Amino acid sequence: MIERDAAAEALPRHPGPSKPSAAARRRRRTPVTWVRRGGLWNLAFLAPMLVVFGVFSWGPIAQAVVMSFQKTNLITPPVWVGLDNFARVLSDPNLGTAVLNTLYFAGLALVFGFPLPILMAVLMSEVRRGKGLYSALAYLPVVVPPVVAVLLWKVFYNASPDGVFNTVLGWVGIPPQPWLQSSVTAMPSLVIEATWAAAGGSIIIYLAALIAVPPELYDAAEVDGAGIWRKIWHVTLPQLRGILFIMLILQVIGTAQVFLEPYLFTGGGPNNSTLTVLLLIYRYAFQNSLGGDYGEATALSLMLAVFLGLLSWLYFKLTDRWSTN
């Protein structure tokens, strides 16, 4: 197909507006030549994608932009309100709370959840026998359906002194904690569960990356007299730099859209202490007693999207650069 196009392109051009020759006529794209070149087949293969993306991806994305400037409630016809939705979102006192909570969640998740899988993967990569067993054990929490995991941990977080975690704390002499019941401990509790649920996946990815570190580098480092710690610091971690940065961006993109944990654990409480941005969007659209405020919800999601879009653009640039290297 491509060759044929190239051949058509290579045909000599006839100068002057005289009668078009047979070759020139063939170069013109008539419907017949289009069909002969497989134009219909191309369309047939593209059709499923065009329909599905048009209706369920490109269409709604365009609609999101339009809707953010409209007042829509599905009952009355939509009205243009300019930047009203954005103004109302920005003046919502809950927005500040939600943004700060989301940043808090993301920050805690970085502190708890980012270094732990790296450490585990480095230690696990040095295991000689039964590596498969270690990997399987580490990956097991990822296999548990996330909803089941949250509901189970909700039982673990029972705030009575006989709760599962409080019993364990009792063994080492720590007084019972309120966990999800207090606005101070609720967010860290969410983060601990989220870390438990996600660490296994990251560990497996880091293990794969560790295998890719060329062993010659360690040999060379030893020749230079490096010990174990210096090898980790000067060889392993620099070699993992790329994947570490990617995982960091992916984690930030993921945690900025956290919904499941606050929705199922606390519903945003106590005292809005676990109200996240996505939960706020959900409330605007689907938990509004006055009917969904879809304009406000899309306005906020667009603002979040611009921030995340920048991050994923950065991510894409980096992966593209690293993959071509």
Partner 1 sequence: MTTAQGTAPATTADSITLRARLSRMTRRGRGAQEDGGDRGIVSEHERGRGGVRASMGAIHVFLFAGLVVAGLGPLLWLAKAAVTPTQDTLTQPFALWPNGIDWANLEQAWNDIHIDQYFLNTIWVAAGSWFFQLLIATTAGYALSILRPKYAPVLNALVLATLFIPAVVLLVPLYLTILHPPLIDTSLLNTYWAVWLPAAANAFNILLVKRFFDGLPREVFEAARTDGAGPFRVFWSIVLPMSKPILGVVSVFAVIAAWKDFLWPLLVLPDPAVQPLSVRLPAVQSQTELDVFLAALAISTLIPVALFLVFQRLFLRGAGLGGAVKG
Of residues 48 through 107, those in contact with partner 1 by CB under 8 A are 48-50, 52-53, 55-61, 63-64, 67, 72, 74
| Smallest distance, partner 1 to C-beta of residue 177, A | 15
Does the protein bind partner 1 through residue 144 (CB under 8 A)? yes
25 vs 131, beta carbon nearer partner 1 = 131
- What CA–CA distance (Å, rounded) separates 133 from 139? 10
Query: Please, are residues 277 and 99 in contact by the beta-carbon 8 Å criterion?
Result: yes
Does the protein bind partner 1 through residue 235 (CB under 8 A)? yes
Among 196, 269, 272, 288, binds partner 1 (CB under 8 A): 196
Does the protein bind partner 1 through residue 262 (CB under 8 A)? no
Among 201, 248, 272, 288, binds partner 1 (CB under 8 A): 201
| Smallest distance, partner 1 to C-beta of residue 18, A | 28
Does the protein bind partner 1 through residue 39 (CB under 8 A)? yes
Interface stretch with partner 1, choices 86-94, 100-108, 182-190, 243-251 (CB under 8 A): 243-251
Which long-range contacts (C-beta less than 8 Å, at least 24 apart) are formed by 90-95?
A: 92/280, 94/272, 94/275, 94/280, 95/280, 95/300
| Smallest distance, partner 1 to C-beta of residue 91, A | 20
Residues 272-291 that bind partner 1 (CB under 8 A): 278, 281-282, 285-286
Interface stretch with partner 1, choices 16-24, 47-55, 79-87, 181-189 (CB under 8 A): 47-55
- Preceding amide of 270 cis, omega within 30: yes
Among 33, 94, 182, 257, binds partner 1 (CB under 8 A): 257
> Which one-letter amino acid corresponds to residue 133?
L
Q: Helix 146-156 to helix 164-171 angle, to the nearest 10 degrees?
A: 50
Among 128, 172, 175, 225, binds partner 1 (CB under 8 A): 128
Does the protein bind partner 1 through residue 31 (CB under 8 A)? no
Among 81, 183, 260, 269, binds partner 1 (CB under 8 A): 260
